[in-house]
Structure 1
Amino acid sequence: MTPQHPTATYRLQLQPDFGFAAAAAAVPYLASLGVSHLHLSPVLEAVPGSVHGYDVVDHARVREELGGEEGLRALARTARGHGLGLVVDVVPNHMAASVRHNGPLRDVLRHGPSSPYARWFDIDWAAQKGRVLLPVLAGHVGDELDHLAVDGDVLRYYEHEFPLRDGTRELPLPRLLDAQWYRLSWWRLARTELNYRRFFTISDLIGVRVEDPEVFDATHATVLRLLREGVVDGLRVDHPDGLADPGAYLQRLSEATGGRWTVVEKILADGERLPAAWPVAGTTGYDALRHVDGLFVDPAGADQLLGLFRRFTGAAADQGGEWQATARRTARRVVTHELAAEVDRLTREAVALCAEEPGLRDHAPWALRAALCELLVRVPVYRPYATGGADPGTVLTAAAAAEAEGAFAVPEEARAVGAVRELALGRRGDGPRHTAFRDRFAQTASALRAKSVEDAAFYRFTPLLSALEVGGSPESPAVPAGTFHAYCARVQRDWPYTSTALSTHDTKRSADVRAGIAVLTQCPERWEALLAEVTERTAHGGGTSAPDPQLAWAAWQSVAGLGPAEPERLQQAMLKHAREAGLFTTWTEQDAAYESAVRDFVASGPCGPPGDAVLRLTAELEPHVRANVLGAALVHLTMPGVPDLYQGTEYDYRALVDPDNRAPARFDAKDGGPHSAEKAALTGTALRLRAEHPEWFGGAGTYEALPAEGPGAAHCLGYGRSGRVVVAVTRLSLRLAGAGGWRDTELPLPAGEWSELLVPGRRFSGRVRVAELFAGLPVALLVSADGPGGRQATG
């Protein structure tokens, strides 16, 4: 019988090369590791060959490429036999817009608004003359006619096939195209002409209207059945911010599941809180990631790196030199270009709503559109919530509106900002169209934040790459111990079963890569000298010079965290970096010469002889990287919440952005780094302790800060769990060494005798000298040797 709440989960990235049978084969090992549940990526039918599964095409079937429903049930039986449960990823926001594989969408394209599936998709039938724009053609439609052919009841275009409207198959091709419920178009028209909601700016993923009860039932029936039948025990909800009303969706989901353990991929901005009304266990853990990573960043060194970054790159303030200016510039680009179609739809709806109210009339459409853009770029969180959370007025503030009004030259036109704000806040009307506008504004804000911050500004403002994960605060990456303790106390009180994470399928760099990069904040002068050396070498025959200094900075820093790597891995990551940054090349306007220069530079520089200088530095810093790696791992495994381990991260795990981090799972330390054995032992010890004593770490447990005393006190983070466990880790060990080491720093332990689990046989009590506590490892995990369970835990 698996516990109601997981004690720890282990994420497996399922794909055709690693399906249910492979997962089942790993169950004995994972059970011995100490996790309580396997966390599976999406299991429903997806586009053939998908390595992630978020492109669902059929909610009624478990994915055949993974082993089908029988394979999933066999995995569940194996897991259950070893005491493990299953948590699965559900994708309520979107499906793949693959007409060939998506049956409901295919029916809509054949029958139009009369299709029983028309309610599934958020299509603006008033646009495009009542047709769905499908931006799939490689060029203008007139240039692609020779590649279009009727084949029975379908229209073929290379690998694509589209259903034909009844009675149209005999028409001449140009008339046949005009007679369909869809309009085939050049792919570039998606930016301005698309008339269906999508996932962010990805036209291949079409939004689903799960706010409709019938659509919810149809898209969740299989997962809910698997829950009822005991195959699945809990859920991870992907991207709730994309839904019309996330709070209402989560309430319906909770009622349908009977309150099963559910976490949501909600990205919280710094200082933002998860809506208390949501009936969930918490988030998927990016907020925890930010706080854990920040413990191992030196604030003064981070400031020095920022100054060096500005001097080295010469980046203008809004092109990477200053965070807020860069984020605002990328937001303007995204809202006026990539999200132009979404803003156009909002504008049309705003025009119609304003025309109905005397107090909002006479605003020109262009003014309303400009007002929408000005307000959207000023939303400081991923999504303002009108229901189930804080008052959206706390983010769409009067001050933000006043600032937006300043963008207008004519005061009368500036009043359009106030009109849009009133509509977005839900303060003008409560009818269906008013609600739809408010929700669509929030959905667009979420897409804008993701694309402008995560996928643009994070690739321009790069003084410290380790701070650039989802939900991160690159302008203030360091987290003081007091801030961390306050965060943990709040999590223990409000969300004790939230998920916590350090590495995921979406992190741009794995935790161990980030740990290596973070050490640079403790030695910015050495990083400066290294950059001067490698730049000189690549400029004078030791390699190919970088195509631009911002790319060079990111590439050298990536190697500092990654270590030795095949050129192809880093080339792939740096090409993605350059395209997301959008300074010299983009995904849609690729500069072949620039990208060739990126490949040549990476191969001959960071992955060539000059890169040896970086590896020499990282070798010298290895003890301090070790302290970061082991410290972050132990904090993650013992802090409040349910730790979610990404596949392979119990060993030294160095991975870059996808697809590098989505390779099939491996469960050994082969080719692992220098910390693999120690990290694996630490992970297993901490996980088994949680499994043996869930009451010490769960909702009935407690969290207590345990401050050290003495000259090195700031470098020791200590805390207790429920009076039974003490955790201590080393922070900023290089700075500590430079300041003279621990000397007479002490950690006052709670009363009683304490046994060390990571170095068995050692016991402590009273005021322990930190130098002695960390004599073998830079971390310590102690359990009370007195009272119930203490002796059992130490055995």
Structure 2
Amino acid sequence: MTSARSGPGVPTATYRLQLQPAFPFAAAAAAVPYLASLGVSHLHLSPVLEAVPGSTHGYDVVDHARVREELGGEEGLRALARTAREHGLGLVADIVPNHMAMAPRHNRALWEVLREGPGSRYARWFDIDWEAQGGRLLLPVLGGPLGTELEHLVVDGDVLRYHDHAFPIRTGTEDLPLPRLLDAQWYRPVWWRLARTELNYRRFFSISELIGVRVEDPEVFEATHAKILQLLAEGVLDGLRVDHPDGLADPDGYLARLDEATGGRWTVVEKILADGERLPASWPVAGTTGYDALRHIDGLFTDPDGAGELLAHYRGFAAPQTDRGGDWEATVRRAAYEVLRHELAAEGDRLTRAAARLCAGSPDLALRDRAPWALRTALEELLVRMRVYRPYGSGDAAAVVTERAAEEARSAFVVPEEAGAVDVVRGLLVEPSDHVSAGSAGDHAGRTELRTRFAQTASALRAKSVEDKAFYRYVPLPAATEVGGDPGSPGVSPEDFHAYCARVQRDWPATGTVVTTHDTKRSADVRAALAVLTECPGRWARLLAEVTRAEEAVPDGQLAWAAWQTVFGLGPAERERVREALLKHVREAGMYTSWTEPEPPYEEAVAAFVAAGPCGPPGEHVAAFRKALEPHIRANVLGTALVHLTMPGVPDVYQGTESEYRALVDPDNRRPVSFPAAAPGEKDALTAAALGLRARRPGAFGTDAAYAPLAADGPAAGHCLAFARSGEVVTAVTRLSLRLDEAGGWRETRLPLPPGRWTDLLTPGREFTGYARVADLFEALPVALLERVSEGEPGAR
């Protein structure tokens, strides 16, 4: 069997397309000739199965057995595959095993569960706690308390309607008076605000519209994967991207089952790795989708000293109005408490119930007499101290639920004896299952449930508190606030980057790598521009003092700082794009307004500030500042692209990013793009050259390729990042070019080259042997891509 890590079928490069009704299979097929000419080997498709009508992303699946009709249906997908094959391309598809849309009108499996309750053949599909809420599924769909919404609840035959919602009526209850009819259903429509504390089904993060699916059940796995497996078996698809495996009850078991079912097809998982965290070596996958690569690439072009100085300026700028967001670790901890006690309160309750049941009925008398409030406190204090998304297996839990975390958690208790709940919970989480005494099947099941719920809650908490809250509160350098990033330490040294690449080539050579995705808060080119500010933090602070001096209506310093950086990174843009992104920013931050508790006066002040400041006359000063720094932005943009396309792993090019691509958070980054770009530029040429080289010399970049750092020597050596691939290709880029200019330029810095004669693919006609003077190497462009054309004796150029 072909391994997912290597062998036939491993892409050389993929190209991500965001399918939606405005860009269906037919539009993708029309783009195939152009995309094939770029040099990618596979198209990477967003989810292709039936989704909620009108969905622009496809992650809200409603039917796993059908290809989405709005995109062209199964025939449209097969036609796309045929066109792709004719041009030498394969297809990789995104799959969503963790959740489905909570849309009964379209989700027929869920419809049957609502009609028939836990006795439905589909009840095992969904992660529902039937013991809670009196055995009824809570549906948080009402716009207000039930009593105020009764007039909008209408019985229509065997269907209960509420505005655009429709729910099945339990057989035999159709003629009951409305109050009795409601009480007789297997579900309970309630005010949407009750979801925070009363929900009794697992969801995607805190999104009640997405209900968790139990793919750990073999029957559910088979039913929800049959169509995808058929498309793989028939050659329509060639590989998979697995969305959000952290939410699954048993990611290890799921991935093993998937690998067996696909015959070892190339598969990458959207696993977010914290700094220093390693992907479980036992997972039969090619690697991650690449957010770990994104963090390392971005860090190369970030000046760590300048980032520290920028933070100091940020604290001074924002401190007069808020003391929040000035320290990364404190910001994360504060956000985690808030999320766990508000957005994920229902998940915390379910976890506490699992712990309380386990303790109350345990044969181990040392676990008895633990108050639920103490167990909940212990669980909370351990969860907020998690530095990774989730543990995997009981052994790994011991590494992530550390003694240091436990010691800090104990300090939350006033009475030392109550603090013992921390040790009880920690022991249940980390004790290997084979320590459970024989005959205690119920105890074993309870411990498994607790560990599973803890892991699932941990991943949701990490995502909501870090990605969706702390990243919007801690913004000295917004470029560092990307999934998998470490805003508290955004810089990555060349040495650390090379060490990372060596590990990838050794352990996960076919892993995915990305710099822009449908989920990045800012595209790579916007982040590349923002990184330049770490090289001139003082100048940036002085500019902000100048442009804000005349401003009368700054909502708050944190928002203003983020807004000015947004327009600097984005460059000239429509006011509406900036306004919508910043309104999302303040709602996610949740400091003065939020999605669920909006504050119209504050949001109106934000919109007015955007119009008068960043997108008004003062914004012209920022535009002029950006223009003055354009050579250094250019160096970062091209350097980021070239490193990404030639480092170990399989690069995924997000739609439109072969050209300069400036986008903000979704939905801004999910707009359909045109193929090809209207006015191709330097980045287009670089992308085509790098991808063409990968296609022409797959062995130089493949799973058996070599990665070798190349060290420049001379006064500016630290500003040249270079590496060789299998002795056939050399990548060299400029880093921290503004600092370089201020220090006097390259001078006599040289880059020793591997043996052979080297030609520059980005500036044809130039050759180097032995070494290259870096000033010559980067004479025309701040980057170079060299290909060895023949062996030769070393000698100076």
Regarding TM over 0.5, the answer is yes
Q: How far is 1:426 from its partner? A: 4.2
| Deviations 1:507-550, CA, capped at 9 Å, x for gaps | 000000000100000011110111011101323xxxxx221111
| Deviations 1:542-589, CA, capped at 9 Å, x for gaps | xxx221111000000011100011111011000000001011000100
Task: State the match for 1:696 in structure 2.
Answer: 700
* % same residue: 70
Task: State the match for 2:725 in structure 1.
Answer: 721
- In 2, Cα distance between the equivalents of 1:55 and 1:463? 34
- In 2, Cα distance between the equivalents of 1:57 and 1:655? 29
Q: Does 1:499 align with 2:502?
A: no
Q: How far is 1:427 from its partner? A: 4.2
Q: Superposition pairs for residues 232-247 of structure 1, below 5 Å?
A: 232-247=237-252
Task: State the match for 1:352 in structure 2.
Answer: 357
Give the secondary-structure state (helix, strand or coil) at the position aligned to 2:393: coil
- In 1, Cα distance between the equivalents of 2:516 and 2:65? 31
- In 1, Cα distance between the equivalents of 2:682 and 2:550? 36
Q: Does 1:440 align with 2:453?
A: yes
Task: State the match for 1:300 in structure 2.
Answer: 305
Q: Does 1:86 align with 2:76?
A: no
**Residue type at the aligned position of 1:237:** V
Partners of 2:757 and 2:791 within 8 A in 1: no
| Deviations 1:93-149, CA, capped at 9 Å, x for gaps | 000001111111110000001000000001000100000000000000011000011
Change in Cα spacing, 1:33 to 1:252, as seen in structure 2 (3 Å) is same
Task: State the match for 2:523 in structure 1.
Answer: 510
Partners of 2:354 and 2:449 within 8 A in 1: no
Task: State the match for 2:291 in structure 1.
Answer: 286
Q: Superposition pairs for residues 560-575 of structure 1, below 5 Å?
A: 560-575=568-583
Q: Does 1:18 align with 2:23?
A: yes
Q: How far is 1:766 from its partner? A: 1.3
- In 2, Cα distance between the equivalents of 1:787 and 1:199? 56
Task: State the match for 1:793 in structure 2.
Answer: none
| Deviations 1:125-184, CA, capped at 9 Å, x for gaps | 010000000000000001100001100110000000000011101000001000000011
**Residue type at the aligned position of 1:231:** V
Q: How far is 1:664 from its partner? A: 1.1
Q: Superposition pairs for residues 53-68 of structure 1, below 5 Å?
A: 53-68=58-73
Partners of 1:33 and 1:684 within 8 A in 2: yes
Q: Superposition pairs for residues 302-451 of structure 1, below 5 Å?
A: 302-314=307-319, 319-357=324-362, 358-386=365-393, 391-427=396-432, 429=436, 431-451=444-464
Task: State the match for 1:619 in structure 2.
Answer: 627
- In 1, Cα distance between the equivalents of 2:383 and 2:357? 19
For residue 140 of structure 1, the aligned residue among 142, 145, 152 is 145
- In 1, Cα distance between the equivalents of 2:95 and 2:667? 21
Q: Does 1:648 align with 2:656?
A: yes
Partners of 2:129 and 2:200 within 8 A in 1: yes
Q: Does 1:768 align with 2:772?
A: yes
Give the secondary-structure state (helix, strand or coil) at the position aligned to 1:765: strand
Q: Does 1:599 align with 2:597?
A: no
| Deviations 1:343-387, CA, capped at 9 Å, x for gaps | 111111111100123110111111111111111101110011116
How many matched pairs?
776
- In 2, Cα distance between the equivalents of 1:547 and 1:751? 60
Partners of 1:318 and 1:325 within 8 A in 2: no
- In 2, Cα distance between the equivalents of 1:668 and 1:524? 37
Task: State the match for 2:709 in structure 1.
Answer: 705
| Deviations 1:687-717, CA, capped at 9 Å, x for gaps | 0100111111011110000000000000000
Change in Cα spacing, 1:770 to 1:567, as seen in structure 2 (3 Å) is same
- In 2, Cα distance between the equivalents of 1:475 and 1:564? 29
**Residue type at the aligned position of 1:448:** L
Structure 2 alignment gaps of length 5 or more: 1-6, 437-442, 793-797
- In 1, Cα distance between the equivalents of 2:322 and 2:729? 47
Partners of 1:261 and 1:280 within 8 A in 2: yes
Task: State the match for 1:551 in structure 2.
Answer: 559
| Deviations 1:631-673, CA, capped at 9 Å, x for gaps | 0000000000000000000001000000000001322333x6x
What TM-score does the superposition give when structure 2 sets the normalisation length? 0.96
Partners of 2:756 and 2:791 within 8 A in 1: no
Partners of 1:266 and 1:283 within 8 A in 2: yes
Q: How far is 1:431 from its partner? A: 2.0
- In 2, Cα distance between the equivalents of 1:214 and 1:759? 57
Partners of 1:503 and 1:645 within 8 A in 2: yes
- In 2, Cα distance between the equivalents of 1:383 and 1:349? 18
Give the secondary-structure state (helix, strand or coil) at the position aligned to 1:456: helix
Q: Superposition pairs for residues 732-751 of structure 1, below 5 Å?
A: 732-751=736-755
- In 2, Cα distance between the equivalents of 1:55 and 1:630? 35
Partners of 1:652 and 1:669 within 8 A in 2: no
Task: State the match for 2:3 in structure 1.
Answer: none
Give the secondary-structure state (helix, strand or coil) at the position aligned to 1:437: helix
Give the secondary-structure state (helix, strand or coil) at the position aligned to 2:695: helix
- In 2, Cα distance between the equivalents of 1:153 and 1:604? 55
**Residue type at the aligned position of 1:152:** G
| Deviations 1:225-265, CA, capped at 9 Å, x for gaps | 00000000000000000000101000000000000000000
- In 2, Cα distance between the equivalents of 1:348 and 1:700? 50
Q: How far is 1:318 from its partner? A: 6.8
- In 2, Cα distance between the equivalents of 1:317 and 1:221? 53
- In 2, Cα distance between the equivalents of 1:594 and 1:751? 63
Partners of 2:138 and 2:198 within 8 A in 1: yes
Q: How far is 1:425 from its partner? A: 2.1
Q: Superposition pairs for residues 221-240 of structure 1, below 5 Å?
A: 221-240=226-245
**Residue type at the aligned position of 2:381:** E
Task: State the match for 1:542 in structure 2.
Answer: none
Give the secondary-structure state (helix, strand or coil) at the position aligned to 1:171: coil
Give the secondary-structure state (helix, strand or coil) at the position aligned to 1:513: helix
Q: How far is 1:475 from its partner? A: 0.5
- In 1, Cα distance between the equivalents of 2:423 and 2:671? 49
For residue 779 of structure 1, the aligned residue among 775, 783, 791 is 783
**Residue type at the aligned position of 1:484:** F
Structure 1: 4+ residue segments shifted above 4 A:
315-318
Task: State the match for 2:478 in structure 1.
Answer: 465
Give the secondary-structure state (helix, strand or coil) at the position aligned to 1:785: strand
Q: Does 1:579 align with 2:584?
A: no
- In 2, Cα distance between the equivalents of 1:714 and 1:537? 41
Change in Cα spacing, 1:140 to 1:230, as seen in structure 2 (3 Å) is same
Partners of 1:367 and 1:416 within 8 A in 2: yes
Q: Does 1:5 align with 2:10?
A: yes
| Deviations 1:71-101, CA, capped at 9 Å, x for gaps | 0000000000000000000000000001111
Q: How far is 1:419 from its partner? A: 1.0
Task: State the match for 1:149 in structure 2.
Answer: 154
Range that drifts further, 86-95 or 776-785: 776-785
Task: State the match for 1:208 in structure 2.
Answer: 213
What TM-score does the superposition give when structure 1 sets the normalisation length? 0.97
Partners of 1:100 and 1:162 within 8 A in 2: yes
- In 2, Cα distance between the equivalents of 1:522 and 1:205? 43
Partners of 1:141 and 1:186 within 8 A in 2: yes
Task: State the match for 2:440 in structure 1.
Answer: none
- In 2, Cα distance between the equivalents of 1:476 and 1:401? 25
Task: State the match for 1:730 in structure 2.
Answer: 734
Partners of 1:669 and 1:677 within 8 A in 2: no
Range that drifts further, 482-491 or 350-359: 350-359
- In 2, Cα distance between the equivalents of 1:458 and 1:142? 39
